[in-house]
Amino acid sequence: FVDGNIYITDSTTAEMVKLMENTYRDVNIALANEFAKICEEINVNVWEAIDLANRHPRVNILNPGPGVGGHCISVDPWFIVEVSKNAKLIRSARELNDSMPYYVCDLLCKELKRRKIEDPKVAIFGVAYKGNVEDTRESPGKKVIKCLISKGISVSIYDPYVKTFEYPLESLKDCVKNADVILVITDHEDFKNFKEEEIREIYYLMRNKIVIDTRNVLNQDLWRNVGFYVKLLGDGKCKL
């Protein structure tokens, strides 16, 4: 049990409170994702911009990412949309967050085409809906993978936390072997803590040395020093 206060209200208000909590987070994530898209267009690094904006004492912009998962935040806003025609902002935010996996997929596919990489293989890092858990419910990784496969791209998947998944899971070495791109979907601490010798081993196993980090979780300097080209989602200063 945990310590806390119990507040008495009616059941409808109590349910609305739960929906409002998760909707608040969903809308604010959507704002961050929209900022990421805009920054890609105007050659700004969204992560740098968010860091600077958040120095204002009344600003707390969340981090962008490849979409929203889990059984609460990605679902609860729809209950409000269902009962009210006034939920226009909530609907727009939910649709924007739902679109992010396809935005990531299209971004990757455009770069593969631009680099003229034939028969590409993409190594997916993480399919849990958030870092350091094994839960894959509503994971944006599922949509990204399905999108890539629909475009004829070979996909391999590595997640140190997830034991069972609807697509085959592989070891780290098998996942990156002959891959052209590493696409980081989940912000697991394991990905943040890769050592230089591990990164070098990954480098020599891959065919092309491209990393797209949608969560800003990797030690970018370390990966770049080894020889990888690293791009963050929303970093308009960095072109693949």
19 & 89 share domain = yes
Q: Show which of 69, 97, 125 is a domain's final residue.
A: 97
71 & 106 share domain = no
Q: Classify residue 128: in a domain, yes or no.
A: yes
- As for how many domains the chain has, the answer is 2
Q: Show which of 76, 97, 118 is a domain's final residue.
A: 97
87 & 122 share domain = no
User: Binning pLDDT at 50, 70 and 90, where does residue 2 land?
Assistant: confident
Kindly report, residue by residue over 185-231, the tens digit of the pLDDT.
999 999 999 999 999 999 999 999 999 999 999 999 999 999 999 99
37 & 121 share domain = no
Share the mean pLDDT of the chain: 97
CB of 205 closer than 8 Å to CB of 177: yes
Tell whether the model's pLDDT for residue 161 goes beyond 70. yes
106 & 86 share domain = no
User: Binning pLDDT at 50, 70 and 90, where does residue 238 land?
Assistant: confident
126 & 186 share domain = yes
The two tokens of residue 215 are 């969560």
Tally of CB atoms within 10 A around 166: 9
15 & 118 share domain = no
Q: The domain that contains 176 carries what CATH number?
A: 3.40.50.720
Kindly report, residue by residue over 76-108, the tens digit of the pLDDT.
999 999 999 999 999 999 999 999 999 999 999
Kindly report, residue by residue over 63-75, the tens digit of the pLDDT.
999 999 998 999 9
Provide the pLDDT for residue 214.
98
116 & 223 share domain = yes
Q: Classify residue 239: in a domain, yes or no.
A: no
112 & 58 share domain = no
Tell whether the model's pLDDT for residue 3 goes beyond 90. no
Q: Show which of 97, 118, 141 is a domain's final residue.
A: 97
**Closest-CA residue to 154 (of 123, 114, 108, 184):** 123
Q: Classify residue 57: in a domain, yes or no.
A: yes
State the pairing for strand pair 210-213/229-232: parallel
Provide the pLDDT for residue 158.
99
Tell whether the model's pLDDT for residue 1 goes beyond 80. no
Radius of gyration from C-alpha coordinates of the chain: 19
205 & 147 share domain = yes
Provide the pLDDT for residue 155.
99
Q: Classify residue 24: in a domain, yes or no.
A: yes
130 & 167 share domain = yes
**Mean pLDDT across the stretch 34-61?**
98
Residue 92: in which H helix or E strand, if any?
Answer: helix 88-114
**Closest-CA residue to 180 (of 216, 145, 205, 158):** 205
- The catalytic site residues sit at 18, 72
CB of 228 closer than 8 Å to CB of 210: yes
Q: Which domain holds residue 105?
A: 101-232
The two tokens of residue 209 are 């040395």
Tell whether the model's pLDDT for residue 240 goes beyond 90. no
Cα–Cα dist 158/141, whole Å: 11
Centroid of chain to Cα 170: 20
Least confident of 3-7, 81-85, 128-132: 3-7
Q: Which residues contact 212 (CB under 8 A, 6 or more apart)?
A: 104, 107, 108, 111, 181, 182, 183, 184, 231, 232, 233, 240
**Closest-CA residue to 227 (of 158, 204, 112):** 204
